[in-house]
Amino acid sequence: MIIAVDGPAGSGKSTVADIVAKKLGFIHFNSGLLYRGITAYLLKNELDINDVKKEDIILETSFIGDVQHVFVNGEDYTPYLRENIVSINSTIVGKNPITRQIVDDCQRTFCSANNCIIDGRDIGTHVFPNAELKFYVDCNVKVRAKRRFLEEQEKNSNVSLKAIEMQIIERDETDKNRKIAPLVQAPDAIYIDTSDLTIDQVVELMMKYYYELGLTQK
């Protein structure tokens, strides 16, 4: 079974998807980590981030405990996935049609054999259009920026709130206007605005819809 959770950066989709996955006994699959993995591979090996060749990259993912690991050409790039330089450049890498093919293949291979709740930006519209349940998780830009700012402060980062807000706005524009699989709400996705909701409230809503639809795991 596939539960798709789409939405813009900082909307809280990964956080709630992780909690819902644990409650249902599903695997929480974070599609964004795959793009970050390819980006980390390119940066660490000083390769051109604008020139991804499918034949040069073998992308794999597996779970060690609850942690999703990303391997590129047999090497584990998980330690680098949350670096700011990787986060910034993954937007550029993700626009490449070849990158998206590599990531899509990896997602479909893994999730076709598992019960997954998978979050991203084109899961319910492009990667798994026939997912049994779809959510579109949204949030006000300023709220998203504040959330990211607090996360960065915990890392002792010097990035400003305004800079983070501008990064998010730019990311939204890129995601929504890219030619291939843009960020958009699927017609059959359930819309949830998390701006004024707690994490627990969002999780409760998702669980409510799951049980109301009478879904059963495969």
pLDDT at 10: 87
**What is residue 182's DSSP assignment?**
-
Nearest to 103 by CA among 129, 125, 127, 78: 127
Q: Under a CB-based contact definition with an 8 Å cutoff, are residues 149 and 164 in contact? A: yes
Does the pTM surpass 0.85? The reply is yes
Q: What is the pLDDT of residues 115-163, one digit of tens each?
A: 999 999 999 999 999 999 999 999 999 999 998 888 888 876 788 999 9
Nearest to 150 by CA among 30, 13, 10: 10
The answer on pLDDT for 218 being more than 80 is no
Q: What is the pLDDT of residues 164-215, one digit of tens each?
A: 999 899 888 888 888 888 899 999 999 999 999 999 999 999 999 999 887 6
Q: Under a CB-based contact definition with an 8 Å cutoff, are residues 103 and 90 in contact? A: no
Residue 85: partners with Cβ closer than 8 Å, 6 or more residues away: 43
